Amino acid sequence: MVESPVPNRTVTLTGAAVFAALAALLTLARAQVPFPPIPYLQIDFAEIPILMAFFLFGPVSACIAAVIQWIFLNVQGGDAPVGPMIKFMAEFSTIAGLWMGNAFYRRVSRYRISGKAALSVMLSTGVLLRVLVMTVANYVVLVYVAPLFLGVDYLGFARAALEQFTGWRFQSDEAVLVYTLVFTALYNVVNLLVAAVPAGFIVSPIAHSFKAMTSIDAWLARNLRSSN
């Protein structure tokens, strides 16, 4: 079988820039919805273009797009620098997890495995790494960064939101912290799926057109084919 050519540096950078611009537009449009248990957590549709860059151009392009978006968010202001850094860590850990899942699938798949199975492995590792990284990151922000350096009581806000949402009454800050991290982990799972599923559905039908325009297979299609 003749291998499809891989994207050169110019194609990779161009793809990153295009999808970073789309992510920036979605950010400006406030394409977000609050996560009901803890409303300061926002389910962010701006992650969709970042994952589209991953599926079409690969992890390098997606990481570059995430860096560009991080710079844009810092320049834009808002909750910089903590908010943009947390968002970047979420996106980077997701990209790394998806790539690790792809690499693991390619290593163990000695027999023909369906694309659905490969994507399931990738999503599983993406979810796992994102949750692990973001649990640690949110612990540091809630316990140290927010109260000591920013003067913000995110944990107090989380307590009020969780008590209103669940009807529970927490007896200690430690219990609030544990449940905040649990619901934050759930939020990260939901946010990843909200971004990854639409990105996959959008990329799938345009992959053929992408090859016709660039003579290059989409990164995900090329990797799945070469693993069989």
Residue 78 region by backbone torsions, left for phi larger than 0, else alpha for psi between -120 and 50, else beta: left
| Mean pLDDT over the full length of the chain | 88
* pLDDT reading at 68 higher than 90: yes
**DSSP structural state of residue 4:** P
Burial of 167 (0-12, 13-18, 19+ CB in 10 A): exposed
| Closest C-alpha among 45, 196, 33 to residue 126 | 196
Distance CA 189, CA 150 (A): 27
The tens digit of pLDDT for each residue in 108-122 reads 876 666 677 888 999
41: left (phi over 0), alpha (psi -120 to 50) or beta: beta
- What's this model's pTM, rounded to 2 decimal places? 0.90
CA distance 179 to 165: 12
| pLDDT given for residue 76 in this prediction | 86
Give the model's pLDDT for residue 3.
Answer: 47
CA-to-CA distance for 201 and 207, rounded, in angstroms?
A: 10
Task: Report which of residues 221 and 175 the model is more confident about.
Answer: 175
**Domains assigned to the chain:** 9-226 (1.10.1760.20)
| C-alpha closest to that of 51 among 60, 62, 42 | 62
Q: Which tokens hold the place of 208?
A: 């053929």
191 has pLDDT over 80:
yes
Q: How confident is the model at residue 7 (pLDDT cuts 50, 70, 90)?
A: low
pLDDT above 90 covers a percentage of the chain that reads 68
